[in-house]
Structure 1
Amino acid sequence: MKRGIYRTDNKGLEEAISVLRKGGVIAFPTDTVYGIGCDADDNSAITRIFKMKKRKREKPLVMFISHKRLIRDFVIKPTNTRRRLCENFFPGPLTLIMKAKKRAPQGLLSRNKTISIRIPDNNFLKRLLMRYKKSLATTSANISGEMPPTKYKNIKLDVDLLLMNDTIPSGIPSTILDLAHYPFVLRRKGSISIFTIERYIPSKARFDKSIVFNVLFVCTGNSCRSPIAEGIFKKFLQEKRLKNVHVSSCGILAGDGFFPSKNAVLAAHERGYNIEEHRSRHINRKIVGTSDLILCMEIFHKNEVYSLLPKCKDKVFLLTEFHGKDGEIDDPIGGDMSVYRKVTKDLERYVKKVADEFELRYLIKEHR
């Protein structure tokens, strides 16, 4: 089958349907990144996708469906939690892994008989799924391990039809949440923060061992509170062997490259934490965007983070409120050593709770 390139218009829609009916593989824009897909019941085409992506069979493809009501056709044991998640996040960049019914496409099942389902929030794909009247087996349009493309010219896979429209909103893959385990398991970070999702589920999610999580501490000058918190957290991460949790800090009014205050270094050292190598950083949109959890010392800091990236609100907390407490961590700048010692002890208490939570989140007993 000769590869064709079409726009995401009526002509492209008809060509895509024709290719799918012939057992072909198409590439298309989504609401996250470019994807490829085929008929969800076509095992030969599914096998071809695995081969062209060099993807292991242990990582099943995702089923795209046109409407929430179709989920019950493929998934067993519907729950109120699943309904809440679907109501609030479908269509959108969330993929849910659930226990599959026997009638679910066999080529999409995991060894544990689960299936991954998503409803994309892309107008062309919505039209395609409605007109085709069948589900698609899909995945991102890249070789496994490489970055998913957001431009059609960067798609190197040997597909039969390429639909071009580079107006992709985020360029960030969908978040994957495994509902077949309890507590639920975050299998992949994505467009939707886990803290947003946790507003709709009964308990905090666990993290797959592959998840790398970036924690950011924020204060004013990045010379006292946030570097002390960073130093404390680093030591706890080492003790707990949490290698996939990364930590950094920055300041709302900080200059770049300055040393921490002498009193901060001394107060941290007295409790066994070394922050001498720290150098200050000024906060920016990139730092905020690449952080998965942002812990601020004062409400003022939270508001400044919001102003940089309003959509990040669900992942920004006061350090104290992250564990249900009220209040701020006072700035010790200008105080004597007794003030710095008190702040360091307060930080130690709250930061330890954060470290304990991550230790729990990475504890998963996998089904066999």
Structure 2
Amino acid sequence: MKTEVVRAGRGNATVLLQAPASALRHGEIVAFPTETVYGLGANALIETAVQQIFALKGRPQDNPLIVHLADKEKLDQLVKNIPPEFYRLYEDFCPGPLTFVLEKTDLIPDQVSAGLNTVAVRFPDQKICQLLLRLADVPVVAPSANISGRPSATRASHVLDDFKDRIPFIIDDGATELGVESTVIDLTGSMPRILRPGVITADEIRAVSGIEVLSYKDGLEEGDLKRPASPGLKYRHYAPDARVIQVCSKDGKSLEAAVLSELDQLSDQKAGLFINEKSWDKLRLQTVIAEREIIKYLFAAENPDEAAAHELYAALRALDAAGVDVILAEAIPGAEAYMNRLDKACASENMEKEEVKKILFVCTGNTCRSPMAAALFNSYAEEKQQASKIKWKALSAGLHTMDGLAASQSAVSVLCESGIDISGHSSVQLTEELLAEADIVATMTRSQRDILRGFLPALESKIKTLSEWADERGRESAGDVPDPYAQPEAVYRETRNHLQALIESLWQQINSQPGD
């Protein structure tokens, strides 16, 4: 197969897009620009076409896709029980970079929704994209046009790098306007909630539409436990081959000083920089910069949040192509969409390089059992880690809590007796992203386990009670860890001892599994 690159700006777009639109309609794959990133498109109603998307990208089958439509005219064929908030948000933000998670009809194949009863839908704000969708006249699934796990494509050349002679058409309309994927908002719960950050923020939705919405950092509500996972949330993303390290001004140290400090530690590696133009103007005068082969990719210092987001994926690809070993990328606190993608780019490489796995302990409030378990596990792992092929790190979260609560004083006291300090613990509300990124999820009770399995059925195999993980045969009859909340300190001491015994057994199980 030879890939035809259709240059949208070189002639009558309606004429130029006839062949790609027909190809889409009949089940072929077409890459096209949106205002966010380039998409790899297929007819959402043809299962074989949808399957090609997964195969081409190497995308996991349980990662749902986003359906793209020109407008809402035929939306009721694809989704049902549309809440009133949708119409307000549609009027205020569409067409645009906002994706809606809604209940799907039977017309949507299960492959599109990863077997969930919901589907993600958006209405792109890009003229060539809109024209293509109207000409094709079918709903189009279109994940980012890149090999799964690689930086998303923001230029047609990026798509060509990944899919040359593997798809029939790539439509080239230059660099995308925004450079990061759309905001995803779930409208199936008791309150709208952002699942993936993008250019449109929770604050903007509140201000423009007057709709109260939870941000992606907020946790699960008891009435929203059936919310689906967001497209683009469940797997590590956006990672180049090179290692990515964040740099920023911190503790009185300037960004430039932070860059120089990192470069000093990386003296034997070919380094790339992704920073703003003003900082580069200061850095390039430094002797160490002049003496080393530093590959730079700069973004505008004015409106850095937008500029960095717009160029991030292009920078990661360009620096990778230049053969750098490590990329120092400027961190911009407060730039939600940019930092979300940069965090994932860093986490993917670093976790693979260091072979660190995560175990997430879950209880109700994240003030007693789960923080005790995480602290006990990390303390035990520190002793045993050297003899283990795999490094483990424990985290904890609460099923029904709020961020920022201190650990129970009795929990602090009984762990202090074991030489472990959790006085600085701050509770964390459980989120879908924490669940998706954990290698093992250990709940304190069977009821908590069942709630989470119902919430994310695709992750069922890695969600068990702590007792089940610790049991040699993983028996579901293994008991719960009772909640010591509001009990005498002696009960907390019993809980500590119970947890310690389970963790020692757990350690044996997770470090004796074949292939680990």
TM-score normalised by L of structure 2: 0.43
RCO higher in 1 or 2 (8 Å CA, sep ≥ 6)? 1
Partner of 1:97: 101
Provide the C-alpha distance between the structure 2 equivalents of 1:94 and 1:203, rounded to a whole number of angstroms: 14
Retained in 2: the 8 A contact 1:177–1:188? yes
CA distance in 2, matches of 1:361, 1:292: 21
Note the C-alpha offset of 1:359. Answer: 5.7
Structure 2 distance, partners of 1:257, 1:45, is 49
In the alignment, is residue 163 of structure 1 matched against residue 180 of structure 2?
A: no
Matching residue of 1:124: 128
Flag the 1:173–1:150 CA change in 2: closer, same or farther, 3 A. same
Q: Quick one: structure 1 residues 363 and 51, their matched pair in 2 at CA, closer, same or farther if it must change by over 3 Å?
A: closer
Change over 3 Å in CA distance of 1:34–1:288 after alignment to 2 = closer
Q: Percent identity?
A: 25
Distance 1:292 1:97 in 2: 28
In the TM superposition, residue 195 of structure 1 has moved relative to its aligned partner by: 2.2
CA distance in 1, matches of 2:142, 2:24: 12
* Cα shift readout 1:140-199 (whole Å, capped 9, x = no counterpart): 100111111112112112211111111421111111122223444432222222322344
Give the letter for the 1:205 counterpart: S
Distance in 1 of aligned mates of 2:121 and 2:175: 23
Equivalent-residue separation in structure 1 for 2:77 and 2:29 (angstroms): 24
TM-score by length of 1: 0.59
> Mind listing any 5+ residue stretches in structure 2 that lack a counterpart?
220-232, 235-245, 258-278, 283-300, 309-331, 336-401, 406-425, 433-450, 457-516
- Structure 2: how far apart are the matches of 1:37 and 1:61? 10
Which residue is 1:195 aligned to? 203
Give the whole-Å Cα distance in 1 for the aligned partners of 2:82 and 2:147.
34
1:1-12 matches, cutoff 5 A: 1-8=1-8, 9-12=13-16
Two-structure CA RMSD over aligned residues (Å): 3.7
Q: CA separation in 1, counterparts of 2:39 and 2:46?
A: 17
Q: Distance in 1 between matches of 2:430 and 2:303?
A: 26
> Taking structure 1 as reference, are residues 250 and 25 closer, same or farther at Cα in structure 2, changes over 3 Å only?
same
Q: Against the structure 1 CA distance between its residues 184 and 132, is the aligned structure 2 distance closer, same or farther, given a 3 Å change threshold?
A: same
Of 146, 149, 164 in structure 2, the residue corresponding to residue 142 of structure 1 is 146
Unmatched segments (≥5 aa) in structure 1: 212-245, 259-280, 295-352
Q: Contact 1:66–1:126 at 8 Å: present in 2 too? A: yes
SS at match of 1:140: coil
Residues in 2 aligned to 1:181 and 1:48: alpha-carbon distance in whole angstroms: 31
Secondary structure class of the residue paired with 1:57: coil
**Do 1:206 and 1:360's aligned partners in 2 also have CA atoms closer than 8 Å?**
no
Letter in 1 for 2:82: P
Mapped contact 1:64–1:118 kept (Cα < 8 A): yes
Find the residue that maps to 1:5 and give its secondary structure.
Answer: strand
> In the aligned structure 2, how far is the partner of 1:90 from the partner of 1:292?
28
Report the 3-state secondary structure (helix = DSSP H, G, I; strand = E; otherwise coil) of the residue aligned with 1:92: coil
Count of residues paired in the alignment:
255
Check 1:203–1:49 CA distance in 2 against 1; reply closer, same or farther (3 A cut).
Answer: closer
Aligned-partner residue type, residue 6 of structure 2: Y
- Structure 1 205/151 Cα, relative in aligned 2: closer, same or farther at 3 Å? closer
* Contact in 2 for aligned 1:61/1:139 (Cα 8 Å): yes
CA distance 1:51–1:255, change in 2 (3 Å): closer
- Tell me the amino acid that sits aligned with residue 161 of structure 1: F
Cα deviation, residue 87, structure 1:
1.4
Judge conservation of contact 1:206–1:361 (CA < 8 Å) in 2.
no
Partner of 1:26: 30
What is the CA–CA distance in structure 2 between the aligned matches of 1:88 and 1:6, rounded to whole Å?
A: 32
In the alignment, which residue of structure 2 is the partner of 1:174?
182
Indicate yes or no: 2:153 matched with 1:112.
no
**What is the distance in 2 between the residues matched to 1:197 and 1:25?**
34
**Aligned counterparts of 1:360 and 1:56: Cα–Cα separation in 2:** 28
Contact 1:184 1:206 in 2 (8 A): no
Instruction: State how far apart, in whole Å, the 2-side matches of 1:196 and 1:107 are.
Output: 33
Deviations 1:72-95 (A, max 9, x none): 222221222121111111110111
The question of 1:204 aligning with 2:214 is answered yes
Shift of the 169–206 alpha-carbon distance from structure 1 to 2, 3 Å rule, reads: closer
